[in-house]
Amino acid sequence: MRPLDSETSDYKRFPKLIVEVLSDSTEAFGRGDKFANYQTLESLQEYVLISTRHQRVDCYRRNEAGLWVLQFHVPEGKTFYLESIDFTNTLTALYEDVPLEATL
């Protein structure tokens, strides 16, 4: 835990990573206004969106210039990497036992 975050026990005020699982009803807000608000957090390094419709992980990462760069991960890439916490895993492991929503 980061020292600044020890001030609160209910939530983190200075996150470096935020991960959200999307649904049809939350996807637009998660990619829009919510992400715009998150970008104002100086501590935030990565914002990760996990799809429930298909195997896809979108990772928005703040680069050295302060710009947000999207890197998306799909099954063909097999692995994904979260730089802010030095974590690598596979989409297969992430989606294990997860029923995906039907798409039209």
- In the chain, what is the greatest distance between 2 CA atoms, to the nearest angstrom? 47
The DSSP element (H or E) to which 87 belongs, if any, is strand 87-90
Give 66's contacts (C-beta < 8 A, 6+ positions apart): none
For the domain bounded by 3-94, which CATH number is listed?
A: 3.90.1570.10
Q: Which pLDDT value is given to residue 98?
A: 86
Q: Which pLDDT value is given to residue 13?
A: 78
Q: Which pLDDT value is given to residue 75?
A: 85
Alpha carbon 78 to chain centroid distance? 17
- Low-confidence stretches of the chain (pLDDT beneath 70): 1-12, 28, 30, 101-104
Alpha carbon 3 to chain centroid distance? 23
> What does the domain layout of the chain look like in residue ranges?
3-94
